[in-house]
Structures are given as structure tokens and as C-alpha cells.
Amino acid sequence: MSREDIERGGGGGVKSRGNNSNSYLSPSTYSIEDTEAHYWTSWLVPMFVVANVAVFIVVMYINNCPTHLHTRLEGKCVARFLGRFSFEPLKDNPLFGPSSATLERLGALEWTKVVDKHQGWRLITCIWLHAGIIHLLANMLSLVFIGIRLEQQFGFVRIGVVYLMSGFGGSLLSSLFIRNNISVGASGALFGLLGSMLSELITNWSIYTNKAAALLTLLFIIAINLAIGILPHVDNFAHVGGFLSGFLLGFVLLPRPQYGWPERRNAPSGGGVKSKYKAHQYVLWLVSVVLLIVGFTVALVMLFKGENGNDRCHWCHYLSCVPTSRWKCNDNNL
């Protein structure tokens, strides 16, 4: 690509390492003791998948690789039999996708356009764009594995809010720390779902079986995916921002009533439980609401005042890229 794209999610971590989206799989090692728990039919998550695929098709149609002028060094369009849907040369985009110019034109996250040109809508639109078909497939498989289970348990409203707010939180943190590259992808939202799974397990700890094994499994999955994010050209700030947003939102939106609450609520006077939730759930709810409001407010104020997050946190750039003898981090990210 003419400019280095920073992609969010599995695509960036797997293009040369052979990993896949299975690292996002949610643990199935724990279950709810209440056998009468209600389950919803999942439709929003499949719609999110359809929307992301549709947007990618539209992006490829607009990109129209055969009309671009490529140097001999760059090579020719890939899969030219697809016509205007063919992919940019692999030297420009190894993920089989559009050019960075097309992504930027259609809503990729870029600090200059968000702050100087007041295009705050890019904090949302970048969530629906992907750098290539590999990036798209990895993220959509992850969304299916994580999102459907959560939507079945908690309904489309709560999971939709977690997904969208986490994606926004990931974009917000990314734009505070990355100024000279564009960023696209849904994995900030995906990390938000992972974060909400962790907080949901914590706040509803008493109603689960095999919870210790589930906690260790989930922490391992999260750690692996965050570690992938320190590779070059992967926007780990979006991962971290999405995860923190989803983690706090899980305490707010996903607490379950005390075990047997419906029966105890209808018990004779003095025999029932007066509170629907436990004391620690109320405390976690309150603390999380405060942190979310303060965090989003401070981040938005800093962003639109043009402040650089790296000036306030001199070591934070290591969250997104750790230089080694095999690769160097892009100084523009610092």
C-alpha cells in the first residue's frame, strides 16, 4: 500500500505466523447452575457479519484495482479474473484487499481527518472496514464464535451495545496514540466482547460451575490475542481500548440475578430475597459506570484538543509494537 495500514484483529497477527481466529474461541468449560435460564435467538451477530461482508464487497467494487497505476516493482492486481473486484498487488496489500487510499476515502480512522477536519464519524466507520479478505474472515469467524453465544444468553440489545461501544472505545484509544497511519477493523469490538465475557464471569461468579478453569482459559485466550497485537502493523491500541470498554460494560450490562431470584421474590413475606443482585454486583456496576463516563469524556476531550497520548504515557507505545532483531517498529506510531 502507498501508506502503511494498521489493521485490527486476527488478520494482522496471522498473516505470517500461521495463527487463525480460533484463538478468539470462547471457553465452554463452564455452565450456569440455573437450568431454567432463558436463551434468545441470535440474529444481530449474524447481521453484523453480513454487514461487514457487504461493506467489504462495496469497498472492493469502489477500489477497482485494474484502474490503478502500479509500478513494475509493485506488480499486478491479484485474481485479475475478478475484474474490478480483484485485489491490490501483494506488495501493496498482502491481505488480499483494497488500497489504503480507498480505505482512507471510505472512512478509515486517521488522526488528521478526525481532529483537524472534524470527521469524528470515522471513529465508528473504521469498525466496519477491513484491510483484506484474510483480515475480514479472521474477524468474522471470531465474531461468530464469541458473539452468538453471548447474544443467546443476554439478548441482542445488551450485546449490540457492548459491541458498538467497545468498537468506539478501541477507535478512541487508537486515535490518541497513532497519528500517521490509518486503522481499520472490527477487532476492537471483538476484544470488547472478550472483555465482557471476563467481567460477566467475575460478577456472576457464584452461579457458575467449573469457573476457575473457565477463568484461566479466558485469561489465556485474552493474553495470546493481546500478545499478537505487539507485532508490527497491528493496532493493539484498538484491542486494548476495546477490551477495557467491554470489560467495564460487562459489569454494567451483564450481571445476572441471584440464583433462584424469581422463586424467592414470590416467597411469603420475610422468606424471599429483597435484592435482585448481590452487593458486589451493585458496587461493580457503580464503579464501572463512573469509569466509563470519566474515561470516554477525558479521552474525547484529549482527542479533540489535539493532544498526543504518547506525551502523557512514554512507555505506552510498547503496547502496540515491541521492536526486536527481526523487525522495527514504525516511529510514526510513537
In single-letter form, the type of residue at position 169 comes to: G
Q: Is 288 part of the annotated catalytic residue set?
A: no
**Contact, 7 vs 186, CB < 8 A?**
no
Angle between helices 187-203 and 236-253 (to 10 degrees): 40
35 φ/ψ angles, rounded to the nearest 5 degrees:
-75, -10
Closest residue by Cα to residue 30 from 254, 255, 212, 159 = 212
In the chain, beta strands by DSSP E: 5-7, 31-32, 182-184, 208-209
Q: Which three cell numbers stand for residue 77?
A: 492486481
β-pairing verdict for 182-184 and 208-209:
unpaired
187 is a catalytic site residue = yes
Instruction: Check: CB of residue 245 under 8 Å from CB of residue 170.
Output: yes
Identify the active-site residue in 100, 142, 183, 187: 187
Nine-digit cell at 91? 506488495
Pairing assessment for the beta strands 182-184 and 5-7 based on DSSP bridges: parallel
Where in 99-221 does DSSP place strands (E)? 182-184, 208-209
HSE of 265, CA atoms in CB hemisphere, 13 A: 9
Total length of the chain: 334
Q: Among the options 135, 233, 239, 317, which is catalytic?
A: 239
Q: Which residues are catalytic?
A: 187, 239
